[in-house]
Structures are given as structure tokens and as C-alpha cells.
Amino acid sequence: MIATTTKIHNFSAGPGILPIDVLKQASEACINFDNMGLSLLEISHRSKNYVAVMDEARQLVKDLFEVGNDYEVLYLGGGASTQFAMVPYNLLTENGFAAYVNTGVWASKAIKEAKILGNVKVIASSEDKKFTYVPKGYEIPADADYFHCTSNNTIFGTQMKAFPKCPVPLVCDMSSDLFSRKVNAKDFSLIYAGAQKNMGPAGSTMILVKKDILGKNGRKMLSMLDYNAHIKGESMYNTPPVFPVYVSMLTLRWLKQNGGVEWIEKINQTKADTLYNEIDRNSCFVGTVAKEDRSFMNVCFLPTKPEYEAEFDKLAKTYNLSGIKGHRDVGGYRASLYNALPLESVNALVEAMKEFEKKFA
């Protein structure tokens, strides 16, 4: 076993950082789950011990979103990318259309999948400026089957600060800012998110769906793509991703026990303010997106001179900064400030930026 006492500051965009207490509990469960003398990885998902995990994991989502029994919670495989297809498959009618807003790579992929299944209208897009802002002031057609948006742009670093009043079912991909801030979940008919950015490990996708929007598309449904089939099966129509769901449960339990979404939102805002203030102050770095649309989950910035990048990469290693390289479509740097990332790590990045400016400005 390799042991280390070195503090690594993990800014990975996903899979992202998880609370250390959660990782410890999850690792123990891989050996001895629930004092059964068996690993979580080798017991039946139908056992009462694991059914209790699934039940708690689903209820925690409802508790944190503050919704009632008119909503159902699902944990499915396939990632958020499968939801790009499942949403239109379940909600888009043969003669109707869906309205989408395009704010980045993942929104573009959702639009592409939906177009395979039916009619789609892209009612607003920020592609004209390389997704460096969030469109505003658009009108959502009242005759659309549903409206789809992506709350946070992981790659380019923008975030919807408010959601439009919607005359049709509001569907949102919240993969990269789920439970990072308060939202009125009752305004949404469906929320989905891959767990691996802010909730758990890769392999599970959470879906919160209002039951009354389902069963209206007139389509003969394939069972594995039918939300109602998974609701009836209580997220176990087929074998669920047992370990990712368990770790997601532990993470949501950690969040709720520490004060819930209101508690973590304050911390996340402090982290984002700390880093953006340094980006705006520091002569060696510059932000990449419109200030009013800056994500407080994925902070993207560039060196003001191309030659700075190699030098800052070297300095970052001495500060044990991990996962800050920007996406290839943007370049530069991206610091992901997910819920489990401590302020201490943001302060380490800021100190590295200050030292860099002293040496090279």
C-alpha cells in the first residue's frame, strides 16, 4: 500500500473530489458492509440491507430538494449522456416539439440526441461567442412539449444564475452544480445529473421527475428507457450501480447533516469569490467568460502571455495543485470548486498565483 501525508488539492472537473469521511466509510463497506461480514460489492441488491441504501438515497434527494411525493427519484446507469436521449424519448410527442437553449458542449449533445427522436427548436444559443455567456431574454414557446436547459457549463465556465419562468415542463441538466446552491425544485418537472461531479463516483445518474409529465407521448416504450418502468421498479428494474448509489447516499447524508444546501452554498460562494477576486487582481491571469455569468463551480482562466503557462504548470506542482488544466476547447486553467473541495485548497491556488505574479510580472 502506498501511503502519503502530502495534501493534494484536487480541482478535477469530474470525477471530482469527495468528502474524506465519505471515502473512509465507502472503503470500509467494500470489505464489511453493514456489519454483515460481506462486501457491499458482493451482496444482492435485493437484500434488505441494500434496499435500505436505495431508499435512503432516494429520500435524501427529496429532502434536499424539498419536494413531496408528486416527484420520484431514480438512480440509473448510463450517465447524463443517456438522459440526453431518455428525456425526449419520454416527453417528446410525434407531432410536437421541444425547446432547447444551447450553452455549451453538453447542451449541444443533448440537442443532437433529441433531434434524432423528433422536432427540436433551439430558441437561444451562446455559440456565437464560443459559449462565453449565458443567453437571456428569450421566449419559451407555450406550445412546446418541454423546455431543456443546462444549469452549468463545465467546459467553458458559465452558469445560469436564474431560471426562466416556464409555461411548459422545465427540464434541466444539473450535472455539475447539483446541490451546490438553493433552487426551487418545484419549478422543475425533471432534473437529472451525473453523480460524478458533485454527488458521488462515476457510474450513477440521479433523476428527479414529476410523475404527472409521464405517459403522454403516445409512444410504445422500450422498458429500459421508460421512466415509468424504473419508477415501478424503485430504481431496481435491473441491477443498479450499487457502489455509486451507496457513495452518493453517504455524500448526501454528509451534506444534510452539515446544514444542507444553504450551508454549502455559502461556502461555495466564498470559494468562488476568493478565486475570481485573485483572477481579476492578478496581472498574469484573465477570466474567460462574462462576469455576470461566471460559474462558481468551474472557474476558467487563461495566462495573459502564452509563455506563462509552462512556468505556472511547474509552480502548481510545488503547491500540490491537481486537475487545474483547462479543457482542450478552452485551454489555460479550470479550477472545479465542487462541494467537497475545502477553502484551504482555493487559498493554496491563490497563493500560487500571487507567487507567480511576483516572479514573472
* Burial of residue 164, with CB atoms counted within 10 A of its CB: 0-12 exposed, 13-18 middle, 19 or more buried: middle
Q: For the chain, how big is the Rg over CA atoms in Å?
A: 21
> According to the 3-state scheme, what is the secondary structure of 302-329?
EECCCCHHHHHHHHHHHCCEECCECCCC
Nearest to 177 by CA among 16, 330, 57, 34: 16
In the block, cell 455569468 appears at: 293
Q: Which residues 6+ apart lie within 8 Å of 103 measured at CB?
A: 125, 126, 131, 134, 135, 149, 150, 153, 158, 160
Q: Are 326 and 185 in contact (CB under 8 A)?
A: no
Q: Are 342 and 21 in contact (CB under 8 A)?
A: no
Helix (H, G, I), strand (E, B) or coil at 201: coil
Question: Among the options 145, 197, 210, 293, which is catalytic?
Answer: 197
Beta bridge mates, 150: 173
Q: Are 199 and 246 in contact (CB under 8 A)?
A: no
DSSP code per residue over 59-89: HHHHHHHT--TTEEEEEESSHHHHHHHHHHH
Helix (H, G, I), strand (E, B) or coil at 146: strand
Cell of 250: 453517504
Query: Does the active-site annotation cover 197?
Result: yes
Q: Are 180 and 198 in contact (CB under 8 A)?
A: yes
Query: At 162, which amino acid appears?
Result: A
Cα–Cα distance, 68 to 44 (Å, whole number): 29
Query: Does the active-site annotation cover 106?
Result: yes
Cell of 48: 434488505
Residue 298 C-alpha from the chain's centroid: 10
Question: Among the options 62, 130, 143, 173, which is catalytic?
Answer: 173
Helix (H, G, I), strand (E, B) or coil at 299: strand
Active site positions, annotated: 106, 173, 197
